[in-house]
Amino acid sequence: MNEEWIAIAETVTGAQHIKVGKPNQDAILALSKSPIWIVAVADGHGSQKSPRSAKGAELAVKIATLHIYSILSKEGTATIEKEQLTRISETIVKQWQDEVIKDSIENEWSDEEKTTIKNQKDFLLYGTTLLVCAITETQLLFLQIGDGDIIIVENNNNIISPIARDPNLIANETTSLGMKDAQKSIRSAILPLEGEKPNLIMLSTDGYSNSFVDPEGFIQAATDIATMLNEKGSTPIRKDLKNWLQSTSAEGSGDDTTVGLLWHPGSTK
């Protein structure tokens, strides 16, 4: 069986958003260039204060994925330290802000957008969360700002949350790349990749977890996905994931729903 990681990425427009003709505000990007694998997920705020959050999410996953890959590919098998991961986070924020300014200048604001704009230099106009997992031969690297979930399913179905919940997340409020000093709100973690590798790493926007009655149901969904991957391989999951997420949104949160999976088939041997 293939010993390398397999990345699967899918995003769907929320059922409630479809009803009102609102576009998907989520974005996801996966990069698989052995020995580096990266999945980035973003959830644009979609509020009146963030009329271009879909673009903000798109920029976030692209910038994070390409910058992290550029660093890891140069470092080779070198160990990434916490301080370096902090600098990577700061660069991602700066590059995102630069691209937001560029987009704001190059793309004229519509009359509808202008009704909500007080300051065209306000980064919250493009506000979004961001979750990233990067895998090298020796480490698992995680970055997160805002809500959403990153969980690791071990081979015994034990669940690990590599990044603790942000205490600043209250009700529907979330930290954001659009905040002033956003880099200070980015949480990160580094785990050594030694011995037996995790079975599955799942990143998802809150539209997914909010579709379950309780956290246990969400965790069970992750372990069920791991089991299906182990038993049937990645092809059926790739084929059916979009339909599953659409059904989950329709029966649950109604929000845009995005899931990124990093599966290690060799872990099931």
DSSP string, 139-159: EEEEEEESS-EEEEE-TTS-E
Write down the domain spans for the chain. 6-268
Res 2: pLDDT: 41
Q: Is the peptide bond before 236 cis (omega within 30 degrees of 0)?
A: no
If you average pLDDT over residues 91-120, what whole number do you get?
Answer: 87
Q: Give the separation between CA 151 and CA 219, rounded to whole angstroms.
A: 9
Residues 104 and 56: their CA atoms lie apart, in Å, by 11
Q: Which fold has domain 6-268?
A: Phosphatase 2c; domain 1 (3.60.40)
C-alpha dist (Å) from residue 6 to 59, 99, 199, 229: 24, 30, 11, 10
pLDDT tens digits for range 239-265: 999 999 999 999 999 999 999 999 999
User: Per-residue pLDDT tens for 179-213?
Assistant: 999 999 999 999 999 888 999 999 999 999 999 99
pTM over 0.75: yes
Q: What is the pLDDT of residues 53-69, one digit of tens each?
A: 999 999 999 999 999 99
Q: Count Cα atoms within 13 angstroms, Cβ side, for 119.
A: 5
Type of residue found at 5 = W
Which candidate, 200, 213, 216, 180, places its Cα nearest to that of 93? 180
